[in-house]
Each structure stands twice: as C-alpha cells, then as structure tokens.
Amino acid sequence: MRETRAPGVRIEGRVSKGFEPVREAFAHNFEAHGEVGAAVCVLRDGEPVVDLWGGLADPATRRAWERDTMALVFSTTKGVTAACIARLAERGVIDVEAPVARYWPEFAANGKAEIRVSDVMTHRAGLAEVEGRFTLEEACAADALCAALAKQAPQWPPCSAHGYHARTYGWILGEVVRRATGERFGAVLAREIAAPLGLEYDLFVGLPARYDARVARTLPAPAPTDPKERELRERFMGPDSRLGRVLSGPSNLFEYGDMWNTRLLRGAEMPSSNGIATARALARVYASLVGPVDGVRLLSPETVARFRAPQVDGPDLVILVPTRFGLGFALPPMLSPEAPASCFGHPGAGGSLAFADPDSRIGFGYAMNQMQLGLTGDARAASLVRAIYASLRRPR
C-alpha cells in the first residue's frame, strides 16, 4: 500500500505498475475539482490494478474516508439493477420481452397492456413521471407509487420515443422483480449479485441501519455562480421542466439535499436511485460481467452482448439531449464522453460512475460524496477515465 498526499489530503491504496496516471488524476481531483472524499477502483482480468481512497467521508466530523467507506451512488444504481435483471433473465425467471403485465396484471390498465419489461429498461414506456400526491414515507415504501403507476396512462405513446425514467425505472422494475420472485428487490440483489462476489457488506439497495456508520455523508452540489449556468440549470432542471419533475419525483419529494443522509432514504429500496456501495464493489460487479472475478462470472458473454447492445439512440424527451441505452445500461457518450464505444454501465447524479469494457477487460467504479451537477458532465470522473485509458495505452 502506498500513501499519496494532495495538499491537505491523505490518499491511500495501491495502483499496479503502469497505472500511476490514475493516482495522479485522483489526487488532482482534490486539488482542482473540489473533491472532498472519494474512492476509485479498477479491475483488469479480474484483478485489481487500481484501488484508491482518500479525503473525508464527513467534513463536519472530520471522519476520514476509509477502505470500506460506502457512498450513495444515485443512478449508478440503475446499471447494477440491469445486471440483476439480466441474471434473472438468463435463468428464465424474467422474460424481458414479456409485457410487464405478465408479472403485474394491474399494470395493464389505461393502455399499458403491451408495455414490455425491456421498454422500461430502455426508457420507452412513457411513464417517466408518477401522477398523484404522496408523502415521502409513501414514496419510500413504494407500494402507493406502484399502485398509481399501474392505474395511470402513459405520458407519450409507448415505444414511440424514449425519455429518461429517472425514478420510475426503479419502482417499476423493482415491482416486476418482486412479482416474479416473491422477494423485494434488495434481497434479490443481495442473493444474485452481492453474495456470489463476496459483497454482502459492500453493496445494497435498502441499507440496514447497522451499516450507517460506514456511509459517507452526501454533500449537495454548490449552487452555480455563473449566471448563464444558473439560467441553463433552471431551464433544463427547474421545477417547471419535465426533467426537474422527473428527478424530484411525485410531489417534488426528492430534492438533492440532506434528506439523502436520513435513515428513511438509506433504508428505502429504490432500484433506480439509492444504491449504496463501495467503489470496489461497483468495479467487481462490472468486472464479473466481462470475465471471472475470483472464479465468478455473473453473466454469459451472450447475455452481456444482448444487454449492452444499443436499443435507443437519439433525442431524449426528458433530458432534451441525445441519450443512448442498451437494456438498462447507459452507453457512450452518455455513460462518459471519455469512455470507448465498447463500454456499458451507468453514471449517477453528482458524479459517481461504474462501467465495464469487454475490449479492455476492465471493471471500473468511482464513488464520492461531494455532488456536482454540471450540465456538461463531471470533470472528476472524466479525468479518471482518461487516466485509465492513457495507462492502458502505455507500453508494458
């Protein structure tokens, strides 16, 4: 293990020979990009070549980011959810080309009988918003929201276009998993993904209270100081925009603030939004999709090829810029402008990122606590991805 110091910041962990640029980029994020606490991990051919952490998990208490610190990773959760559903599909538990109503009969109401599981995974279901008024407790319990989604009509003709289902992706797919297996999503994720990879204490959707002390405190993004950026953010993400309504959820419940540090939000099961994990766990999950990790490969190459194949590519009715998705996985350039076309995974609000690259045989995970909500991507994650591929190009 080697310790590095950015000004005032202790960085711990290790990198393999040739991957020193990643350590340099990680340290530079603290110096130049407002990083507070973070971790990054890369596995290649199932073996760790980068495993770094540093900074503060909680600036208020000066709690350090430790090797086992977990963080809320927001929509990076979606890719892990997609991997879990792919594993169930590979065994025939869920047919992603079947109508959602096969598993959830009430969902067929109001013109939704033909919406397939795959349509939800590719953001084509036309159900980006939940209609109705709900308390935060109801939203976190999910049952009332699922009942509302089952009753309501699509907001655009299903499969006619795609638009990012920021929250409903998780509520609908979580209910499909519950109906198909008889278990809540968090338990299925623990059995199908975490347990085979030895991540029972490092990857959760629905965090038990006994692990709260290991979770970094999520720090809301600072307000933009540039008037043009403020205007753009208000136009694209304000409360009167569709994206703003989709992100904030029903009744404008889910603001990106201190609420995400509460026991209620950590303990809820939102397979779209509230995964809590170490960067190492994310990297192990993705590495296991493109090769064995300690003898475990979660999915066959054929299943991976099917789920990462582009399904939608073009204007997004919610985000209002072009997006590109496979079955639940974000693809470049939405995944990361720095990632090659072969990559698949998912970014998360605030900056987190996880992906696999079958061509380079890597799994990547980055988690942090200081959110940044720039409209042009996150400079910290981008610098790490650039450094990884610069390292891979270096002669050995």
**Residues marked as catalytic:** 75
d(CA 85, CA 95): 9
Biggest CA pair distance of the chain: 60
Q: What angle do CA 175, 176, 182 make, to 5 degrees?
A: 80
- Among 323, 363, 331, smallest CA distance to 42 is for 363
- Among 209, 196, 193, 203, smallest CA distance to 278 is for 203
d(CA 105, CA 227): 49
Strand 322-325 and strand 344-347: the pairing is unpaired
Cβ–Cβ under 8 Å, residues 289 and 298: yes
Going by the DSSP 8-state scheme, the letter that residue 198 receives in this structure is T
Q: Catalogue the E-assigned strands of the chain.
A: 4-6, 9-15, 37-44, 47-58, 63-64, 71-72, 203-205, 275-277, 312-315, 322-325, 344-347, 353-357, 362-368
- On the CB side of 44, CA atoms within 13 Å amount to 13
DSSP string of 61-110? TTEEP-TT-BEE-TTHHHHHHHHHHHHHHHTTS--TTSBHHHH-GGGGTT
A 10 A CB-CB count for 314 gives 9
Asked if the bond preceding 333 is cis, omega within 30° of 0, the reply is yes
Alpha-carbon dihedral 84, 85, 87, 90, rounded to 10 degrees = 180
187 Cβ neighbours under 8 A, 6+ residues apart: none
Supply the angle between the helices 301-308 and 76-90 in degrees, to the nearest 10: 130
